Amino acid sequence: MTENIVAETAERIFSDLADAQNLNNATNDGWKTPLWAALTDAGLPLTWVPEDCDGSGASLADGFSVASSVGRFAVPVPLVETMLAGWLLSQAGLPSPAGKMTVAPARPQDRVTISADGSLSGRVRRLPFASDAAHIAVIAQDAKGYSIALVEASACRIEAGESLGSDASNTVTFDNVKPLSSRPASPGTTPASLMLMGATVRSLQIAGALETMLDMTVRYSNERVAFEKQISKFQAVQHNLARLAGEVAAAVAAAGSAADAIANSSSFDDAVFLEAASAKIRCAEAAEKGTAIAHQVHGAIGFSMEHILHRYTLRALGWRDDFGHESYWATELGKFVAARGADELWPLVASR
């Protein structure tokens, strides 16, 4: 059951215009236009943009619910990327343009700098949906701190590329690009806070995709007959389904806890870091284990392009790398715990 009217609206649109089987059978991308138009009419791309910046003014919790829905439907359009871009622009009081956007950087190691004349320079890798976006929201650094800039995607050099799920994932080069607008970021808005937001969104998407995988796999095991009985009756299959359900439950709990922490915090403090980092690590692990189980239960048919399982499994696996992969966050989490000292470890864990 969805949590609020914003998520209900998203799910209704996805059900009508982004059914996985219909998209899998589509011979072209004609479905994208009516889908994006419906999302725009509902105000979903600008969910996190305040009303005084021409947005919907919905809460962080509402937007996180939409991200979960995107994962459950494995929707291959830059909805959450546009939401993140709008959120980033709002951190500097910049209005968001209409249309598709993405946000840069999407990798912790990538950097964009802003020069004295306001132009942007840098190279960011594997930027989700950059080739589909009309604009890119960028957090850039100079000697004084951080600024948020809005850039036309056409002003950048965008190299072709695809994610595991066959969605656009591009290397983007900013070569003294003049932004349409830029302002200093609000206090506390840094590349690290963008990574935490992005990691939480991707965790929610992974958890949502895993929920759908579990539903599909249980249903298939009850329909598929081998040796004159449903494969769900075999103990080995039951064991795998129980393991899959456990991974889904862990991912949903971890991602939801991170989303709650951000939604109920006034800053990206230690508690938010702990929750978001832990969620990305746990959801990434669940994606690896869960997709393997789902494919194992489905057998050969699950690997075929005609079946929709791959629409969820490949995207879930690809989302692990966006906004920091699990190894990066595990290292950062280890540094965080080590810096606080052994005596603080148990109180830190118990407080969550």
- Taking only the tens place, the pLDDT of each residue in 10-42 is 999 999 999 999 999 998 999 999 999 999 999
Q: What is the pLDDT of residues 209-230, one digit of tens each?
A: 999 999 999 999 998 888 888 9
Q: Across the chain, how many H-helices and E-strands are there? A: 11, 10
> What pLDDT is recorded for position 126?
96
The rounded distance, in Å, linking the Cα atoms of 3 and 48 is 17
Of 291, 274, 262, 125, nearest to 201 by C-alpha is: 262
Integer Cα distance of 167 and 7 in angstroms: 23
- Rounded CA-CA distance 92/105 in Å is 17
pLDDT tens string 84-119? 999 999 999 999 999 999 999 999 999 999 999 999
Model pLDDT, residue 229: 87
Q: Indicate the DSSP class of residue 94.
A: P
Q: How far apart are CA 116 and CA 89, in angstroms?
A: 20
How far is residue 296's CA from residue 339's CA, in Å, rounded to a whole number? 42
Q: What is the mean pLDDT of the chain?
A: 94
The arithmetic mean of pLDDT across residues 294-314, rounded, is 93
Residue 136 to residue 82: CA distance in whole angstroms: 9
Distance CA 309, CA 104 (A): 30
Instruction: Give the HSE-up count for residue 100: Cα atoms under 13 Å, Cβ half-sphere.
Output: 19
d(CA 176, CA 22): 42
CB-based contacts of 121, cutoff 8 Å, min separation 6: 112, 113, 115, 174, 175, 176, 177
302 falls in which pLDDT band (50, 70, 90)? Answer: confident
Q: Between β-strands 101-104 and 135-142, what pairing exists: parallel, antiparallel or unpaired? A: parallel
- Identify the CA nearest to 84 among candidates 2, 205, 212: 205
* pLDDT at position 352 over 80: no
In whole angstroms, what separates CA 256 from the centre of its chain? 13
Q: What is the mean pLDDT of residues 176-189?
A: 95
CA atoms of 210 and 309, how far apart (whole Å): 11
SS3 147: strand
Q: Tell me: pLDDT of 179 over 50.
A: yes
Lowest mean pLDDT among 72-86, 155-169, 225-239: 225-239
Element (H, E) at 296: helix 270-298
**Residues in contact with 344: Cβ distance below 8 Å, sequence separation at least 6, in sequence order:** none
pLDDT, position 305: 87
CB contact set of 337 (below 8 Å; sequence gap of 6+): 345, 348
- Is pLDDT at 343 greater than 60 in this prediction? yes
pLDDT (mean) for 292-311? 92
pLDDT in the model for residue 131: 97
Phi, psi at 183, each rounded to 5° = -150, 155
Lookup result for tokens 């830190």:
348
* Helical residues (DSSP H) of the chain, grouped into ranges: 5-17, 20-25, 32-41, 60-73, 79-90, 191-223, 235-263, 270-298, 309-319, 326-340, 345-350
Q: Tally Cβ neighbours within 10 Å of residue 212.
A: 21
Predicted local distance difference test score (pLDDT) of residue 128: 98
The percent of residues above 70 in pLDDT, for the chain, comes to 99
C-alpha to C-alpha distances, 349 to 53, 98, 125, 352, nearest whole angstrom: 39, 42, 34, 6
Higher pLDDT, 197 or 347: 197
pLDDT at 1 over 60: no
Q: What are the φ and ψ backbone dihedral angles of 59, each rounded to 5 degrees?
A: -80, 165
Q: State the pTM of this model.
A: 0.95
